Structure 1
């Protein structure tokens, strides 16, 4: 059983507008930073009759960047409340309405009133829409797609984010919309994607799980028939979903304290949190928001930094088909590990090359290679597997709670990084990369031994593996790692082998 064309349409119209908002708002100020800096200086001068100090200008510029991610923290923390009061479909609509408000505040209001405070506030509201839409889209796709193809249909979201980020970086160039008179149009672009969703809203259904929660079993079955590629009985799938809802009702409104009291749920939460935050802890937020500064420090000519940034982030065009082939052959968990290994080598090269750049000028080229390698590894691994692997590790009964807290942690780490990194990089230079080196290498054994195998496994088998691992000591988990290959070849679960 697979997804129908209608189901693919629903997934695309859920993911694409949200992904465009994620990407366009992320890299636009990276390239347009000089234009925004000019706007801040002019606004301060017209208001106070004097130029702002260099430290104040850097502070306002950093706040304009980091406010986006701090808003994501608020958006992520509001997901549970919004989904509880609205349906998933209407929750997505709400996030797009918030985004339109954000665009109005950050672009025309800020530009015509010469208010950098309005720019910062608007970027914060944009972040709220991003954090909310990011989680809601994950829930909708997970509850709509056939389970066996979740890995494939969740992954395009991150690909669309990366491609739209490249578009945002290019449009933010000083020869495009990254000019003091044109940046208002640059920040207005994410609003058009929300309008796209509003137009398609009437053709997007509620999710089958939402209908089952409303005890509309017949409506859920009829919807599943429209969402599946073959015209066959969907009663079995509907029965599975109903059983998951029964499990959910037993753990309804489960607090985080109860999760940490149950060994298997605690293990699921911790592994999910670490897996979901691999890209943030690996330095992705710093690269995406400050790559131009990093490249300038590495010796790249200022006329070309934006193009190099676009090329680095544009690797998604190459990485996605590679990921697809690897994911189809080996599963998301193993692709995650491969990506982490590549990223670890890249960040190590980047750190060494930056440290030696002043002594050996040719090291600037090696630094670029290191950054390219690092981003490629993060894209192939943690970024493209983000939603699919998280979905595989959780169930519909635990996903809302686990994703809620993990999503909050994800954006909080990103917000701290976006605020602190400019100052740490200015103070320590290449040594600011050292934490990312340590973290990336630490993720290799984590991915190999602590994440349960997901390839060709049902959710029940994955959860059995989680329960088995949660009852073992760390040394025992490492000792059974050699049994993965044998268990996978036989289609069994590691938990079965241990038991």
Structure 2
């Protein structure tokens, strides 16, 4: 248990809480994306040898590719399962305890991965990837919720965006650990797949020392004293009345309401455009093709003309680009706002995808085009990190109230994982069939996403939930502004009266 001195808190407490939650949370998503690139050939050989030893069958190249694609993409199906169970888990156990329990899936997956080679079972790798995917699916939903509910309003975007920073850091870490000189060699690939247990263990040791989400404690549990204690520890000073009043107002607005179920959000007109927004942006985050570069980096850089023995070092650069861009986005998001960074990121990705296609088209006739192709990949990833990578995870926290938020994250997470599975399965075949035009579909997705953000997404920077909700009401109840306004005023009067009482 924390000491009395620790309970007083300090500003450092919030920073350490973010690091502890993220190192075993969204870092795992980026890490488990990246570590699958290095052992590609070794695991494919292992699969082929297993079929030959068991059934005396020599697999064709396309069959090996298919099994490998299943191993890689099954991670997304695990993530979908995790996204679907994350909502009920956060309601029952709370945000912090949910993250701690989530490590059960991780440790079980790591155990299967490290013993798969000795057991001569590629099926154990598939099951391991499902379990690790469940872990990532839960953490990708719960961690931004935990951060958004724990951060002060003026830092809400930056703190929530740290989820994306740690995801990018996980990518870089996975790429570095996957180098041949470390664990990316033939004798060590099973240890590489199981190395994700180390960040999980760090979280298990450190996270219990930090407080639960203040909003969860007050709104879901009705424990005002515990909420105030958590706020004091996270802020390092006396709790400001305005911050506590905002939480109390949200509690009053949701009093007597049970947490929403996902299907109920689809029938609720008052959150129609909020739901459309998170579904479109979460889908675009994967359909833009950025994460496919990490899944199949060797395919992409081979198409760009990079020598095979240099690819592993180039891929580390891609992760470093996204990590750098996410840090820049973290510093700028409270200055530039969510809408501008999200729209700008998609527009830049569209431009670089077009330039990349042109460079691939002329690569055979112009010698320096291969360098332009590589530059386009890096700028594409930089643009992704500056906008969609970070802002997407912030939106559900800012545009849904406490009762709808878990269900909203379930829907957003489901869309993200379904589309990651689709792109993961199709991308190698897109590269094979479309060749230099493989990024044209991604360019179309980015352009359409930028248009949607520019036309329909209101700015949420520094605004209270009630102010953001009123802006969405103009879309949800278009043509009924006057009626909606009178209802909102009546509801606000009820909230003020109940708060005074």
| TM-score (normalizing by structure 2) | 0.88
1:173 & 1:194 partners in 2: Cα distance? 21
Contact kept, 8 Å, 1:20 with 1:164, in 2: the verdict is yes
1:210 & 1:43 partners in 2: Cα distance? 49
Alignment of 1:450-465 (within 5 A): 450-465=456-471
Cross-structure match for 1:341: 347
Q: What do residues 291-323 of structure 1 show as CA deviations (whole Å, max 9, x unaligned)?
A: 221110111111111211111221134324432
Cross-structure match for 2:235: 228
- Kindly tell me: are residues 357 and 186 of structure 1, through their superposed partners in 2, closer, same or farther at Cα, counting changes over 3 Å? same
Aligned match for 2:82, one of 69, 75, 80: 75
Displacement, 1:235? 4.5
Cross-structure match for 1:244: 250
- Kindly tell me: are residues 351 and 53 of structure 1, through their superposed partners in 2, closer, same or farther at Cα, counting changes over 3 Å? same
- In the alignment, structure 1 segments of 5+ residues that lack a partner are 474-499
- What SS does the aligned partner of 1:127 have? helix
1:133 equivalent to 2:139? Answer yes
Cross-structure match for 1:104: 111
1:289 equivalent to 2:295? Answer yes
- Kindly tell me: are residues 210 and 56 of structure 1, through their superposed partners in 2, closer, same or farther at Cα, counting changes over 3 Å? same
- Kindly tell me: are residues 128 and 209 of structure 1, through their superposed partners in 2, closer, same or farther at Cα, counting changes over 3 Å? same
Cross-structure match for 2:162: 156
Contact kept, 8 Å, 1:344 with 1:437, in 2: the verdict is yes
1:420 equivalent to 2:426? Answer yes
Cross-structure match for 2:13: 6
2:221 & 2:440 partners in 1: Cα distance? 51
- Kindly tell me: are residues 4 and 284 of structure 1, through their superposed partners in 2, closer, same or farther at Cα, counting changes over 3 Å? same
User: Which of the pair has the greater relative contact order for Cα pairs under 8 Å at 6+ separation?
Assistant: 2
Contact kept, 8 Å, 2:110 with 2:197, in 1: the verdict is yes
1:298 equivalent to 2:327? Answer no
Contact kept, 8 Å, 1:37 with 1:61, in 2: the verdict is yes
Contact kept, 8 Å, 2:211 with 2:233, in 1: the verdict is no
Cross-structure match for 1:350: 356
1:247 & 1:288 partners in 2: Cα distance? 43
Aligned residues: 471
2:136 & 2:284 partners in 1: Cα distance? 19
2:22 & 2:304 partners in 1: Cα distance? 35
Alignment of 1:121-200 (within 5 A): 121-200=127-206
Displacement, 1:48? 2.7
Displacement, 1:380? 0.4
Aligned match for 1:88, one of 89, 95, 99: 95
1:126 & 1:253 partners in 2: Cα distance? 27
Contact kept, 8 Å, 1:292 with 1:305, in 2: the verdict is yes
1:436 equivalent to 2:442? Answer yes
- What SS does the aligned partner of 2:204 have? helix
Cross-structure match for 1:65: 72
Contact kept, 8 Å, 1:342 with 1:374, in 2: the verdict is yes
- What SS does the aligned partner of 1:51 have? coil
Displacement, 1:126? 0.5
Cross-structure match for 2:225: 218
- What SS does the aligned partner of 1:303 have? helix
Contact kept, 8 Å, 2:214 with 2:231, in 1: the verdict is yes
- In the alignment, structure 2 segments of 5+ residues that lack a partner are 1-8, 480-501
Q: What do residues 346-375 of structure 1 show as CA deviations (whole Å, max 9, x unaligned)?
A: 111112222333344432222112211211
Displacement, 1:251? 4.6
116-125 or 357-366, larger mean C-alpha shift: 357-366
1:249 & 1:270 partners in 2: Cα distance? 26
Contact kept, 8 Å, 2:265 with 2:404, in 1: the verdict is no
| TM-score (normalizing by structure 1) | 0.89
